[in-house]
Structures are given as structure tokens and as C-alpha cells.
Structure 1
Amino acid sequence: MKRSRDERRLYHDLAWTWPIVSPPGRYTREAHAIRRLIRGRAPGARTLLHLGCGGGHLDKTLKRAFEITGVDLSPAMLALARRLNPDVAYRVGDMRSIRLRRTFDAVVIADSIAYMLTNRELLAAFGTAFVHLVPGGVFLTYVERTPATFRQDATTRAIARRGDVEVVLIENQHDPDPADTTYESTFVYLIRRRGRLRIETDRHRLGLFPLPVWRGLLRRAGFRVTQLVGEPDRRGARGNATFVCVRPAIDR
């Protein structure tokens, strides 16, 4: 069947809307939860690699506990991240292939892992995390949705304002082919500046994998899966499960 175009304008010309619709303060609790999970497995963890760091909203809190290196594919998002966190080192790169030639005490891939569309891509991202970890280092990654929890045409709405700009963001999740490992997330932006309306649309393709696939690929990458915290999104609500993994002290 014909594939829908994967636009991802949020990471290009619409990146400026991100701090408005999803401000950094919204990530404080999430960042503290990440810190606790890492320190629970590696109390002395000091350095952290954040793959798919986006606009740096998690980093704003995480940098209080870790020395962070952030990597993202979007220069527009990294410009926002550098503005928010001038004390964090950021690099343009692809989580599937980047090699920094150094290791870290912890690696995090948050919701950006959803852009891995196939088992091969998911395994590649896990491989990147693995090679950048010290033995005994901790890897955290999110599972937002699985085929078992996906709701066809689940739709959400958010309204945000900053100064004279109001953004209404409508997001719809649709799976045109349940036999494959992807689904579509379509965004409609109603942007009002001083009362004048502008309408923009955006479309993203995202991956959808059963939990056993996640576990199997994490183990194949070399990780020991120690914990699954929470559960994937249900009934269209925002939520995720978090895999907590460790690179064994002696690689298999």
C-alpha cells in the first residue's frame, strides 16, 4: 500500500512551537523519575548520554544530577536545547549510528525511540546505547504504545499561550496497516497571533512493537533487562513504560 509522507515539521519549521505547547517545567517530575531509576542501579553515575534529546526539556532538570551530552537529528531542536541549556554539550547525530568514541555511566532514550520503525532500527538504537555505556552502566528507554494498547484514531487536544501567541494542537493516532510495525501521528496546529489564525498540519510515522519484541531486542543488543516500570499508554492517555537495563560488567 502507498505510504503516507513522514513530514516531521515539528523538528524543522514548526520547532519554535515546542516550548509553547510542551514547556520545560512539564518535564520536572519525569526527569526526577529518570534520575531515581538510574541512581537505583548505579548510585555513583555521573555522566549521561541523552539520545534523541529534542529541545532539551528533560536536560534542564537532569543536568543538576549529571554531566550530560545530548544528541539529536534535528538542528532546529538542538538550537532550542542550546538556548535552554548553554552548559550542556549537544551534537547533531542519528541514534541509530552515531559513535562518540567515549562511554557514559548512563544512557537515556525517552519518547524519541518511537521514531524507530522496524526491528532493525530499534536494535540499531539499542546498539548505540550499549556501545556508549561503561560496564555496569544503566540504559533507560520508553515504550509509549504497543499493538495491545494502541487505540485507533485516539485524538487529543492541547491549548497553550505565550505572549501574543496561542497554539491549539490537535493530535490524531491512526494505524493504516495493523500488519506492519508503524502507525501515523497527525498534528493540526491552530496558531493565533494577535487574533490572526494560521493553520498548519504535520505528519509523523512512528513504530509500534509488542513488549516481547522490545525485551528480545534489548537482550540481543547485549543488555540485561532488570526492570519494567509502569505500562504503555492506554485509552489514549499519556503514559509510558520504562525499561531499565544494565550493560553487564562482563559482556557476553
Structure 2
Amino acid sequence: MDPRSARLSPQTPAGELKVYAELASWWPLWSPPEEYVEEAADLLEVLRTAAEGSARTLLELGSGGGSLAFHLKAHFALTLTDRAPGMVAVNRALNPECEHLVGDMTTLRLGRTFDRVLVYDAIMYAADRAAARATVETAVAHCRPGGAVVLVPDCVSETFEPSTECGGHDGADGRGLRYLEWCWDADPSDERYEVAYAFLLREADGTITAEQEIHREGLFRRDDWLTWLRETGCAARSVRDQWGREVFIGVRTPSP
């Protein structure tokens, strides 16, 4: 492993991160659909009951490799977007029956609305207040009046704790991946935290390479998310899921 790669700027934009670009094809061995069974079931109930009326169409912003969508597509007509073309390709291969579009969650405008708009953990890449509020604005702009926006950040500032995680899987093609994830808050006075990833990638011929990268993610207060939803025309509330995450629900207020 080249030690110089450890000095990669943590401010690298999400769309330029190596793991979502040239390493995108490894996503199914990093975070496959089978790891999302419980979360998808829990979230499905939230999406169904978030607002009254129809809940047939769903737009997911920052849908990544589609592992969550894999469990939701039986219940909604899904439109799946991501700013990284490589991840959209992985998602399309897993969920070919869904609509797939390349687009940035801070600026996307499709000119149509949906019963539900979901931003799952990709919302952590809204790494400053302007990006976070712009993402909320995008979500609300695509939500029909009376429909619901559901935001699921990994954490808020009140619940953040440093952590480590490891895992990975082997593929039927002979490839394998193992990873280490390490989260910490280098400066508690700002509204960001750092996530370092280290990967060991085994090719089908047994060749092993190593990659590492640092991501910088946004860390905002519970009341910030509620305020942004209310400022963009939603009645907002939050609930805690079984993993202790704040799930923010905004019901778009019909125009008078």
C-alpha cells in the first residue's frame, strides 16, 4: 500500500471518491442486499405510514449500488438516482426493472413529483449546511403535495459516537473484499466528521491489492434537519428506529 494515499484530502467530493468510481464494481462485495433485510423492513413501514393517501411511487436520491432498493422495489415504482455513474451502473444491474438516472441530490430537478422521496445514508455526503439544505430542497421539490420526504442520516450531532466496523464478502466469480471502517470527529467545533476506509481486494486469480480513502461527512443537529424541512414547506417530525437513528419525516403541505 502506498503510504501517500493516506494523505488523500478528506474534502474530496462524493462524486469523485474512488470507492464510488473506479472501485464501484466491488460494491456488491462491500455492501450487498442481504445486509439490508432488517433495515429495509423497518423503513418500509415508515414509508407506508409517513403520510396519508397513495404511496405507490418513490424517488431515492443517492441510491448508490441499490442494495436497499432491492428490497423496496416490490412495494413501490422506484426512480433511483446517484451522482456517480459507476454506482448507477451497479444499481441498474441489480435492479433492472427500476428507472435509473445520474444526478446530484443537491441540484437534481426532474420536473415531476412522487408519493415518497427517500434520502438514506447518502445524505451524510451533504457535508456543509448549504449542501444539506439544498438536498432537502431537492427532496421536497420532488414530493407531491400531501406526500412525504424521509431522511435517514447515519447520525446527528447528539447521537454521534466514534466507531469501527469491518466486514466484506466473497463473490461467485472468485473475487473477494474485506474492509475496515473507522469513524471519528477530528474537530467537535465544526459540523463534520471523518470516515477512513481500508480495503483489501482479491482478484479471481488470487492477486490482492489494497486501497484506502478518507471521506468527510456532515454532522448536524436534530433541530437543523427539522428546521430545513419546515422551511421548505413540510410538517416535520422525527422518530427513532431500532438502531437509534433519527428518521426525519416531512409531509409536504398542499398549496393553498
Q: What TM-score, normalized to structure 2?
A: 0.88
SS of residue matched to 2:105? coil
- How many residues matched? 243
Indicate which of 246, 252, 255 corresponds to 1:241: 246
SS of residue matched to 2:55? coil
Which residue is equivalent to 1:156?
165
Per the TM alignment, residue 5 of structure 1 is displaced from its structure 2 partner at its CA by 4.4
Identity of aligned residues (%): 35
Residue 20 (1) aligns with residue 45 (2): no
| 8 Å Cα contact 2:192-2:216 kept in structure 1 | yes
The Cα offsets for residues 84-127 of structure 1, whole Å up to 9 and x where unpaired, read as 11111111101111100011111000000000011221111111
Residue 209 (1) aligns with residue 220 (2): yes
Which residue is equivalent to 2:94?
84
Which residue is equivalent to 1:218?
229
SS of residue matched to 1:42? coil
| 8 Å Cα contact 2:177-2:201 kept in structure 1 | yes
Indicate which of 182, 194, 200 corresponds to 2:211: 200
CA distance, structure 2, for counterparts of residue 197 and residue 96 of structure 1:
37
CA distance, structure 1, for counterparts of residue 69 and residue 208 of structure 2:
33
CA distance, structure 2, for counterparts of residue 192 and residue 181 of structure 1:
36
CA distance, structure 2, for counterparts of residue 28 and residue 227 of structure 1:
22
Indicate which of 73, 80, 94 corresponds to 2:104: 94
Q: What TM-score, normalized to structure 1?
A: 0.89
* Structure 2: runs of 5 or more not aligned: 1-8
Q: CA RMSD in A?
A: 2.0
Change in CA separation of 1:56 and 1:239 when aligned onto 2, cut-off 3 Å: farther
The Cα offsets for residues 5-41 of structure 1, whole Å up to 9 and x where unpaired, read as 4262111111122111211122233223222212212
Which residue is equivalent to 1:234?
none
Partner amino acid, structure 2, of 1:172: W
CA distance, structure 2, for counterparts of residue 43 and residue 160 of structure 1:
40
CA distance, structure 1, for counterparts of residue 66 and residue 148 of structure 2:
20
Larger mean Cα displacement after TM superposition, 192-201 or 7-16? 192-201
Per the TM alignment, residue 195 of structure 1 is displaced from its structure 2 partner at its CA by 4.1
Change in CA separation of 1:214 and 1:51 when aligned onto 2, cut-off 3 Å: same
Which residue is equivalent to 1:130?
140
Per the TM alignment, residue 66 of structure 1 is displaced from its structure 2 partner at its CA by 0.9
Indicate which of 4, 12, 24 corresponds to 2:10: 4
The Cα offsets for residues 155-208 of structure 1, whole Å up to 9 and x where unpaired, read as 211132113222110011122222211111110001233543311112211001
Per the TM alignment, residue 216 of structure 1 is displaced from its structure 2 partner at its CA by 1.4
Partner amino acid, structure 2, of 1:28: V
CA distance, structure 2, for counterparts of residue 135 and residue 35 of structure 1:
20
Larger mean Cα displacement after TM superposition, 242-251 or 10-19? 242-251
| 8 Å Cα contact 2:65-2:87 kept in structure 1 | yes
* Structure 1: runs of 5 or more not aligned: 232-237
Change in CA separation of 1:43 and 1:61 when aligned onto 2, cut-off 3 Å: farther
